[in-house]
């Protein structure tokens, strides 16, 4: 029986190894590119003065031009151009100083003009790249995803589908019409779905960091289309992918679908497919440029830029998230990769950390690792335990600095300081009371060895030992790790007011170890 079980385990292990090796040596190669549409964070639309709004009543934020009334003409919003140029500079793209607008014709109910204004022939930016690193979550040490082009274009309206007992119909909301977008098209450089996941996350964070776009897939502020082919076959476009998980699931499903076709001696056809949550489904046969009947827009002149416009944007660009991550892990901050990454993905938290570091370390000589530990692990943890989002004003920054100073000066223990932080959360009305007053009121100040009698220590330690007979027994058998547990219980009992080594020595005396 034992031999049979061992053989089954060996066989199972061999199958897993074979499957892994087969996957690595698979003749079917994934080739994938992305088209990412990102709504620009401007108060006005691309070619009109209508307000951009995502929560307003349907059709309440539209101008005559947005509704395509005869005689109306487009006028470029320079705010949108500035944000678009910032994205191009951040991606290392080459800005075209003489770009043009074109009409892309197609007929949907939510596109009242019958065409979309975009940049097909002469986009405003080409080239560029985003670097992915192993620290981001890919297998390779580094991989470069090249950018084909970035174009400025207008968004379409939105169809709202309604179903009653007797009929199905759709309503048209034009609030989103003419919202400024940039469409960023990558080269087909992705060979693994995880690379796509990492890329989307980094691109989202870059646009958020530079305040170009909110980056929210769920609200439609960012929308991802995927172009995928297998082993040189026809390219299939995947649309209607509303979340990152949907993008990855759709890629994995479509890759398997195309591989299965190849194995049967068939091939994929060029088409557009959607994702229903379980599988990709055909939407339409893929159109090409001829189907869209691209033509230069006769109402919009070429967009001519002076080279100084680009250089001014480049000179005023803030740090990119990758640059921020590198600086946070270097002197003087010296944060871990994990902690630095948390700050990099939350701009408000990053600003708070830098202010906290300056106030605590530069002004009061607090240890440089303390601000990161207290902000990321203690303060954020307290917000989380109280089911609250991070609010930089909830605990005033000087208050947190004062708390760190008291811990470093040995006036209060780390354990008691955590209790005090929770007390501050629960009692905002005590904002005028100094921390020392609170500490004295609740008896949280650290006790020195000379302030504690031997008898009091023995009473506390003996009580802990009586409550933990199994731990005591294991320690006596030589398992010394249990001693740390007893010390922790004693620290908890005394609210961290007594140094752990004092309890440790007392326990050792009582246990004779």
For residues 35 and 225, give the distance between their C-alpha atoms in angstroms, rounded to a whole number. 5
Same domain, yes or no: 37 and 164: yes
Q: Is residue 370 domain-resident? A: yes
pLDDT tens sequence across 81-131? 999 999 999 999 999 999 999 999 988 888 889 999 999 999 999 999 999
Same domain, yes or no: 348 and 461: no
Provide the domain limits for residue 463. 454-511
Angle between the N-to-C axes of helices 193-209 and 321-329, in degrees from 0 to 180, rounded to the nearest 10: 90
Residue 184 tokens read as 């960023």
CA separation, residue 231 to residues 26, 31, 163, 268 (Å): 11, 7, 42, 11
Counting as low any pLDDT under 50, the low residues of the chain are: 1-23
Same domain, yes or no: 396 and 473: no
| pLDDT confidence of residue 406 | 95
What's the predicted TM-score (pTM) here?
Answer: 0.84
Q: Is residue 5 domain-resident? A: no
Same domain, yes or no: 327 and 285: no
Residue 346 tokens read as 């939350």
| pLDDT confidence of residue 449 | 63
CA separation, residue 505 to residues 62, 447, 461, 463 (Å): 76, 16, 10, 16
Q: Is residue 308 domain-resident? A: no
Q: Strand, coil or helix: what is 367?
A: coil
Count Cβ neighbours within 10 Å for each residue of 158-172 and write b for 16 or more, e otherwise.
beeeeeeeeeeeeeb
For 473, residues 6+ apart whose C-beta sits below 8 A from its C-beta are none
CA separation, residue 371 to residues 215, 323, 352, 374, 413 (Å): 29, 20, 10, 5, 16
Q: Residue for token digits 């151009």? A: 81
Q: Say how many C-beta atoms besides its own lie within 10 A of residue 90's C-beta.
A: 21
Same domain, yes or no: 96 and 194: yes
| pLDDT confidence of residue 468 | 93
| pLDDT confidence of residue 450 | 67
The CATH number covering residue 472 comes to: 1.10.10.410
For 382, residues 6+ apart whose C-beta sits below 8 A from its C-beta are 421, 422, 425
Same domain, yes or no: 400 and 433: yes
Same domain, yes or no: 438 and 470: no
Q: Is residue 60 domain-resident? A: yes
For residues 95 and 91, give the distance between their C-alpha atoms in angstroms, rounded to a whole number. 11
Listed residues 415, 442, 469: the one ending a domain: 442
Strands 115-118 and 222-230: unpaired
Give one DSSP letter per residue of 302-314, joined into a string: -EE--HHHHHHHH
Residue 192 tokens read as 């693994």
Structural domain count, the chain: 3
Ranges of H-type helices in 161-306: 193-209, 244-263, 289-292
Task: Specify the DSSP element, H or E, that contains 273.
Answer: strand 271-275
For residues 490 and 463, give the distance between their C-alpha atoms in angstroms, rounded to a whole number. 9
Same domain, yes or no: 125 and 243: yes
- Cβ pair 158, 175 in contact under 8 A: yes
pLDDT tens sequence across 384-434? 998 999 999 999 999 999 999 999 998 998 888 998 999 999 988 887 888
Q: Is residue 221 domain-resident? A: yes
Query: Which of 320, 302, 304 has its CA nearest to residue 86?
Result: 320
Same domain, yes or no: 47 and 179: yes
Residue 215 tokens read as 């980056």
CA separation, residue 474 to residues 27, 236, 274, 470 (Å): 57, 64, 61, 6
For residues 404 and 27, give the distance between their C-alpha atoms in angstroms, rounded to a whole number. 58
Same domain, yes or no: 153 and 200: yes
- Cβ pair 495, 419 in contact under 8 A: yes
Q: Is residue 6 domain-resident? A: no
Q: Is residue 283 domain-resident? A: yes
Same domain, yes or no: 409 and 368: yes
Count Cβ neighbours within 10 Å for each residue of 361-382 and write b for 16 or more, e otherwise.
beeeebebebbbebbbebbeeb
Phi/psi for 257 (5° steps) reads -60, -45
Evaluate the omega torsion of the peptide bond into residue 332 and state whether it is cis, within 30 degrees of 0: yes
Q: Say how many C-beta atoms besides its own lie within 10 A of residue 66's C-beta.
A: 25
Task: Specify the DSSP element, H or E, that contains 223.
Answer: strand 222-230
For residues 471 and 463, give the distance between their C-alpha atoms in angstroms, rounded to a whole number. 13
Phi/psi for 504 (5° steps) reads -60, -45
Listed residues 251, 279, 303: the one ending a domain: 303
Listed residues 276, 303, 330: the one ending a domain: 303
Same domain, yes or no: 112 and 245: yes
For residues 100 and 120, give the distance between their C-alpha atoms in angstroms, rounded to a whole number. 8
For the chain, the first-to-last Cα distance in angstroms comes to 46
Q: Is residue 22 domain-resident? A: no
């Amino acid at each position: 029986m034992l031999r049979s079980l061992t053989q089954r385990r060996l066989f199972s292990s061999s199958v897993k190894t074979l499957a892994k090796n087969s996957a690595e040596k698979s003749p079917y190669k994934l080739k994938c590119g992305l088209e990412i549409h990102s709504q620009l964070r401007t108060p006005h639309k691309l070619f009109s003065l209508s307000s951009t709004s995502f929560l307003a009543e349907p059709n309440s934020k539209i101008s005559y031009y947005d509704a395509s009334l005869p005689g109306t003409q487009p006028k470029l919003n320079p705010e949108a151009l500035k944000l678009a140029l910032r994205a191009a500079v951040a991606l290392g793209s080459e800005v075209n100083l003489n770009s043009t607008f074109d009409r892309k014709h197609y007929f949907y109910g939510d596109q009242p003009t019958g065409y979309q204004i975009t940049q097909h022939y002469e986009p405003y930016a080409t080239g560029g790249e985003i670097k992915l690193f192993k620290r981001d979550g890919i297998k390779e040490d580094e991989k470069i995803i090249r950018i084909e082009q970035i174009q400025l274009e207008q968004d379409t309206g939105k169809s709202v589908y309604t179903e009653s007992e007797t009929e199905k119909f759709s309503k048209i909301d034009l609030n989103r019409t003419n919202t400024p977008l940039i469409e960023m098209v990558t080269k087909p450089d992705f060979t693994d779905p995880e690379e796509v996941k990492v890329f989307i996350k980094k691109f989202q964070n870059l646009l958020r960091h530079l305040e170009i776009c909110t980056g929210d897939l769920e609200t439609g502020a960012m929308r991802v289309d995927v172009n995928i082919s297998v082993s040189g076959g026809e390219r299939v476009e995947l649309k209607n992918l509303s979340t990152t998980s949907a993008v990855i699931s759709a890629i994995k499903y479509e890759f398997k679908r195309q591989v299965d076709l190849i194995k049967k001696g068939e091939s994929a056809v060029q088409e557009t497919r959607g994702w229903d949550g379980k599988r990709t489904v055909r939407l339409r046969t893929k159109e090409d440029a001829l189907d869209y009947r691209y033509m230069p827009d006769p109402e919009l002149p070429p967009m001519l830029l002076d080279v100084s416009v680009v250089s001014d944007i480049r000179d005023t660009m803030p740090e990119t998230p990758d640059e921020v991550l590198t600086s946070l892990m270097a002197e003087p901050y010296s944060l871990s990769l994990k902690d630095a990454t948390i700050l990099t993905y939350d701009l408000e938290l990053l600003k708070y950390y830098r202010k906290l570091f300056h106030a605590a370390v530069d002004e009061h000589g607090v240890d440089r690792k303390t601000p990161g530990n207290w902000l990321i692990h203690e303060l954020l943890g307290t917000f989380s335990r109280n089911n609250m989002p991070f609010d930089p004003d909830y605990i005033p920054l000087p208050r947190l600095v004062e708390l760190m100073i008291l811990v470093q000066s040995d006036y209060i223990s780390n354990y008691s300081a955590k209790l005090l932080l929770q007390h501050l959360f629960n009692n905002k009305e005590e904002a005028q009371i100094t921390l020392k007053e609170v500490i004295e009121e609740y008896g949280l100040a650290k006790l020195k060895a000379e302030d504690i009698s031997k008898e009091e220590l023995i009473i506390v330690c003996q009580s802990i030992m009586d409550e933990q007979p199994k731990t005591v027994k294991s320690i006596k058998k030589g398992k010394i790790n249990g001693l740390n547990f007893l010390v922790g219980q004693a620290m908890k009992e005394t609210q961290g007011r007594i140094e752990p080594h004092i309890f440790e020595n007392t326990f050792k005396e009582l246990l004779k170890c």
